[in-house]
Homo-oligomer: A and B are copies of this chain.
Amino acid sequence: MLGNTLLVSLQGELHDGTAEQLHQNVAQRIAHSTATGVVIDISGVDIVDSFLARILADLASTACLLAARTVLAGMRPAVAITLVELGLTLPGLHTALDVDRARELLGQYTPADASSGAEDGP
């Protein structure tokens, strides 16, 4: 948790069982916290196939039912290209280049979160 944002970081390959578990864990965490936003960081993921795409869409739908918005962060260019070639455009999922921008999109990023104490923020 970062403020009101639940940060989910995916790494490597996800198997069916893991995905199912992830889905349940995220739902539980949202319901039992004050999370109003979920950021799924997939910068460590090399391949997004139709299975993972469905998992991501399901996660976002579940979060939405639990009153939290989901942003997908850190997608690699190669992954984006593959998704488009597969015709998987992740409808309903917002995306951001990295976790900070994802949190900005959720309106939950405060400059105090940043490691540098720069005061000339936007």
Does A97 lie at the interface of the complex (its beta carbon under 8 Å from any beta carbon of B)? Answer: yes
Contact across chains for B77 and A28 when beta carbons are under 8 A apart: yes
Neighbouring B residues of A84 by C-beta, 8 Å: 58, 61-62, 65
Q: What residues make up the interface of A, taking CB atoms closer than 8 Å to B?
A: 23-24, 27-28, 30-31, 34, 58, 61-62, 64-67, 75-81, 83-85, 89-90, 94-97, 101
Are B23 and A76 in contact, CB atoms less than 8 angstroms apart?
no
Interface-central residue, A58, A76, A80, A96, by most chain B CB under 10 Å = A80
Q: Are A101's CB and B27's CB within 8 A?
A: no
Q: Which of B28, B31, B76, B90 contacts A97 (CB 8 A)?
A: B31
Check A80 against B65 for contact (C-beta < 8 Å): yes
Contact B95 A66 (CB under 8 A): yes
Chain B residues with Cβ under 8 A from A77's Cβ?
A: 24, 27-28, 30-31, 62, 66
Pick from B34, B62, B80: contact of A80, CB below 8 A.
B62
